[in-house]
Amino acid sequence: MRFALASTIRFPPPLTGVVVTPARTLLFFAIVSLVPPGSVKSDPPKAAADSPAKARLAAVDKFLDAEAKDLVALYQHLHANPELSLYEEKTAARMADELTKLGFDVTAKVGGHGVVGVLKNGDGPTVLVRADMDGLPITEKTGVAYASKVRVRDRFGNDTGVMHACGHDVHMTCWVGTARALVALKGRWSGTLVFVAQPAEEIGVGARAMIDAGLFKKFPKPDYGLALHADARIPVGTIAYTEGLALANVDTVDVLVKGVGGHGAAPHATVDPIVLASRIVLDLQTIVSREVNPTDPAVVTVGSFHGGTKHNIIPNDVKLQLTVRTTKDTVRDHVLKAIDRICKSAADGARAPAPVVTVNLDEFTPATLNDVKLTRRVVGAFREILGDENVRERPPTMGGEDFGRFGREGVPIFMYFLGTVSPDEVAAAEKPGAPKLPGVHTDGYAPLPDASVRHGVRTLASAVLELVGHK
């Protein structure tokens, strides 16, 4: 052992005038042999806090300490004043004003009420950051002090409440906060920012309208595209992500089922469209269960069934509204053709006029595919700044998001999900028999304002800085 130890030690050259005697050599080995193994250590590695990602996060946190109160006020304003899809005029004006004050070159009315802001800060990558602006036709019942009391007539003439029930108010506030942070930290990054405030996400037309209006031709083409989405089921302070397929194709289908109306007491003299439509609803369920490969996810849901006016009148027609979700274009094509075939075959069997089946291509939303390389890069930064326990992998879902259209234009995209709920509430909801938390698109969804906004800005700004920040 002593020999092995001695053989690894390199002695410095003898000092001038010093005679190395055998006795001194033996004394040296005696001292070395008394040193406990492992007690001599090299300098420790630099603390993780010295990493570029954590240093940038510290700068973002310092910014947030001064800005958080104002950002929460902005969130509450947006939450209290939602606007429906295609009607986001005041919201868009506020987003444009926020970017203008920060020095962005702002263009409004891009594809409807879309807003594009460009900020150049030297050479480097171009990063697109997107937020959606529209609310939903839902009457809010959260009970928060800043709850929406807005009521309007929608594009179909229906009177409805309006609510930010999908977190778009969170998205916009984090978007503004991130823009402010990046302007404040201009010395830490170089490149070009393209901030996009998008209308009409909830009806699937906003992204396409902005693309058709020249989003990627009139403005710098992004090297990367980023977005976040509020999540109503995971605790604030955490994020969730998916590599590759994250969200599904979404199609909207309208079916007008025709019959021959008459008196409810004489059904034999009619062709009852309510019975026919009911049969169609049931037959449609066999598409997923018997026609689609079980390994290919698909959903056919009839969300609306409208027919008749009075107890004893058999109507002339019934209107069905369907949502169709698929993850592959080949499966999508098969399912849509099957819907048309089943509706027409059922009508033929009932001696009814042929139904009208309309696939609304204007509202088609393609699947969202997160770029794997970009996802891994940004998630790596998230793990470094948040810790592995706060970064969760998320399976693909059958929800839809038209952010996926940006990816189909050749832009590598990454959308992640932001926890917005109290950890205590999440833990309570996970107990057996406990009521579930209000989800997105429900009248009870109320994100935690301060913590959600702070966490959203911390992560979104860190994601951008990972791509354009100085190393």
Catalytic site includes residue 389: no
**The pairing of beta strand 224-235 with beta strand 126-132:** parallel
**Other Cβ atoms closer than 10 A to 382:** 23
**Other Cβ atoms closer than 10 A to 447:** 27
**Other Cβ atoms closer than 10 A to 74:** 19
Catalytic site includes residue 134: yes
Radius of gyration over every alpha carbon of the chain, rounded to an integer in angstroms: 30
* Catalytic residue, candidates 134, 272, 384, 401: 134
Per the CB < 8 A criterion, the answer to whether 171 and 199 are in contact is no
Give the full edge-to-edge strand order of the sheet including 298-307: 298-307, 317-326, 249-258, 356-359
Integer Cα distance of 135 and 162 in angstroms = 6
Per the CB < 8 A criterion, the answer to whether 237 and 455 are in contact is yes
* Catalytic residue, candidates 201, 251, 363, 384: 201
E strands, 16-143, in order? 105-107, 115-121, 126-132
37 φ, ψ (degrees, to nearest 5) = -55, 135
b/e per residue, 30-39, with b = 16+ CB within 10 A?
A: eeeeeeeeee
Catalytic residue positions, numbered: 134, 201
